[in-house]
Amino acid sequence: MQCARFSAGDCHSCEWLSLAYSEQIKKKQHSLLALLPEDYAFDKLAPVESQQAQFRNKAKMVVSGSVEKPVLGLKTREGVAVDLCECPLYPDSFTPIFPILKTFIARAGLVPYDIERRRGELKFILLTESRSNGTMMLRFVLRSEKKLEQLRKALPWLQEKLPQLAVISVNIQPVHMAILEGEKEIILTEKTFLDESFNKIPLHIRPRGFFQTNPVVASSLYATAGRWVRELNISHLWDMFCGSGGFGLHCADKLTQLTGIEISPEAIECARLSAYELGLEHVEFQALDSTGYALANELVPELVLVNPPRRGISEALCGYLNKMKPRFILYSSCNAQTMVKDIQQLSHYRIDRVQLFDMFPHTAHYEVLTLLVLQDS
């Protein structure tokens, strides 16, 4: 993949772009296997590769420049604004969107936030696309509600120009720090979530909900998890840190008893809707802390699926799993180092199989799926 901004030294997000893609995959697989124990055998499956360009479904753009000539992209450490509207990671469908957004910023009088002077209102623009139907979600991250009415009044023009914008919202982030979003979200459209579909499983994306940014590889990850679980012939599972339900819904059928736990109420709302659309009757999604839920339950499922943030699962949850001993643990991780640390604490389990999913090409990051099996006492 060629990138003018990388070649010019303006953007370093794709830190491995100078490496051939085949070499990137080799380095990631070597990094993963070097972390795993060598004292017993397990299946080391071939990595799932990504498209090298146009694989992202989301653009996160810092807004800088002036209200008349906004720049969408990033700011360097030296404070230089870099336009990333032609970033090769974005799909072609994003290309005509950005010029219209720049015009809208001027029409609505959304002054870009100046970090040094602590002036202005518009901090970020976040654009997400559904690959299943081409609709989009647009979020404006503002410092305050000061320009909210101006934005509302200008909105009909934007909606006429970009009818694919199914969801438009404003997020209020008042803190003078490099924090992407705040707690308050104001939905400006009748529709409140974006509809997506992976492997014929309906999924929904809320403005503040987490969703994978590489839909092709994410779809493969979910499908693989579903296939592995079905091979185990189980009827009862927990999906911890379940988000909008992608993993659990791929693993369940009409008879499966599935409990999904996620701290975010918005994500749980989406998961419940997906389960309803699939006609699953033995599914329960709850907005709770995953560790707290597990520790408070004595009923042990056959399989526990965990998909934690980068810090991994807690020591308390590892202790619970060791004590209660579900037959299987399916661990999906975006940080292999914390995953391996957790597996070392899960002393009653052995690794059955591992597979790398290249969710983040041109970087050192990747996703990994690991099946753990309870060892005979």
Contact 210, 242 (CB under 8 A): no
User: Would residue 34 be called left, alpha or beta, if left means φ above 0 and alpha means ψ between -120 and 50 degrees?
Assistant: alpha
Nearest to 355 by CA among 15, 66, 25, 86: 25
List of residues 6+ apart from 81 with CB closer than 8 A: 64, 65, 71, 73, 74, 75
CA pair distance 219, 314, nearest whole angstrom:
27
The answer to whether residue 85 is catalytic is no
Interior CA angle at 336 toward 318 and 241, to 5°?
50
- Residue 217 CB-half CA count within 13 A: 26
- Residue 89 CB-half CA count within 13 A: 21
Query: Which letter does DSSP use for residue 213 in this model?
Result: S
Query: Which letter does DSSP use for residue 48 in this model?
Result: B
Give me the catalytic one of 87, 242, 318, 334: 334
Residues involved in catalysis? 334
